[in-house]
Chains A and B, each alone.
Chain A
Amino acid sequence: MAENLREQMDKALEGALTPEQQAEFEDYLARNPNEATLWAKVVEVDRLLKDEPLIPAPQGFAERVMLRLDEDTAPEQLAPDRKIAIGLSLTAATLIPIMIGLLSFSVESIQGSLAESAHQTVLWLMRVLGLLESVAMTISGLLTRYPALSLLPIFTLLLTAAWFWLVRTLTPGKPDRHARVIIPVRAG
């Protein structure tokens, strides 16, 4: 009986027990007075919850939602397009000077200030790459000498993640500028 107790109670609340199951259930309750007391309270809880009405949204709720919507968001559907547009612009902004710069090395007919600045961009990029290479070599040397340093990035990442989690957890929700202030009225 104890194994089926959950099922039996669910069915009993719905009034879906067969006469045999009902008899078995009542017999179980008669043999377990503590369970019988608790069952009476379960029935009371069930009735309390079933009698409780749906609480309607306060006046002007929909208008306040639309006001917040006007200030806060745009549908996600538009977001990917915007992301793609930004990504394409950035790629183009990076690639165009590089392409022109590379061409200026081989095609003499490309002249003027545009070609010169693109040429300079490529040279500058090459210098940055050289700098990055020397930084990488330094790091590699340090890691060979002190292998424990390789744990530093992981440690930093974990620390940052923990910090963000803590801040997010302890920061209260954004206050609602449009929420109606409801003054509770106590009956009696």
Chain B
Amino acid sequence: MKSQDRLWVKQTLSGNREAFAHLVNEYQNAVYNLCVRMLGDTVEAEDAAQETFLRAYAHLGSYDSNRSFKTWLLSIASNHCIDRLRKRRLSTLSLEAENLPPHPALTSSDPGPEASIMASERTELVQKLLSKLPPDYRAAVVLYYWYDYSQSEIAEVLGTTESAVKSRLFRARRMMAEMLKQRDKKPVRLAMEGSNG
């Protein structure tokens, strides 16, 4: 754990809210990105990310300072998102992830319109692929690709074994590859149907 994090945690526990604000500033991007990637919806992701920090604050007393604070925080975030996804599946109010909009940050005009459109299409595709994965697989993929975590670190975050993580990553990649394969087949089939008709 970073010594600065340790200090902020200690100060927060002794009642200094300013110290917790430093922790929020430091890890807001990491937590928010995980929530967006997991949930695919910016508004729900913001709520989930805020909830993650509130839970971290409320349970700071049980945090083991020998662990990395970021890992602990991401563990709260991923479990919270997995819970939300399971509830979403159970609830009839669930949204179709396919229809969710891409993140505005990647559709803004900052990198120039063409690059922006390409980035937006790529993001949309990535989000579509992620949205079809079971929540546990999704969490493993997100932690592996966006946080450079090793399989053992992912196992620690998700509270599972390394071999389970390996298996989830392997299956997730194959599932997404199958989806890409199906997606590529569709335009060909449509074109053939068009030429026959």
Contact = CB atoms under 8 A, between A and B. Distances in A.
A154 B180 CA distance: 52
A55 interface: yes
Contacts of A68: 50, 54
A45 B177 contact: yes
Given A38-B177, A50-B145, A58 B46 contact: yes
A73 interface: yes
Q: Looking at chain B's contact residues, is the secondary structure mostly helix, strand, loop, or mixed? A: helix
B98 interface: no
Nearest to A56: B29
A79 B90 CA distance: 33
Given A54-B29, A57-B49, A77-B60, 7 more contacts: A41-B180, A45-B176, A61-B46, A65-B24, A66-B20, A183-B104, A188-B117
Interface in B125-140: 125-126, 129
A46 interface: yes
Nearest to A166: B90
8 contacts: A45-B180, A53-B106, A54-B30, A55-B37, A64-B46, A65-B24, A179-B46, A182-B46
Contact-residue bracket for chain B: 35 or more
A48 B90 contact: no
A73 B49 CA distance: 16
Contact of A185 (B12, B60, B104, B178): B104
B190 interface: no
A167 to B, nearest CB: 12
Contacts of A90: none
A46 B173 contact: yes
Interface stretch (A126-134, A136-144, A169-177): A169-177
Interface of A: 6, 9-10, 37-39, 41-42, 44-46, 48-58, 61-62, 64-66, 68-70, 72-77, 79-80, 169-170, 172-173, 175-176, 178-188
A178 B53 CA distance: 14
Contacts of A46: 173
Closest 4 CB pairs of A and B: A184-B101, A41-B177, A57-B32, A77-B61
B103 interface: yes
Contact of A55 (B36, B166, B180): B36
Contact of A48 (B46, B54, B93, B122): B122
Given A184-B101, A187-B120, A41 B32 contact: no
Contact of B29 (A44, A50, A57): A57
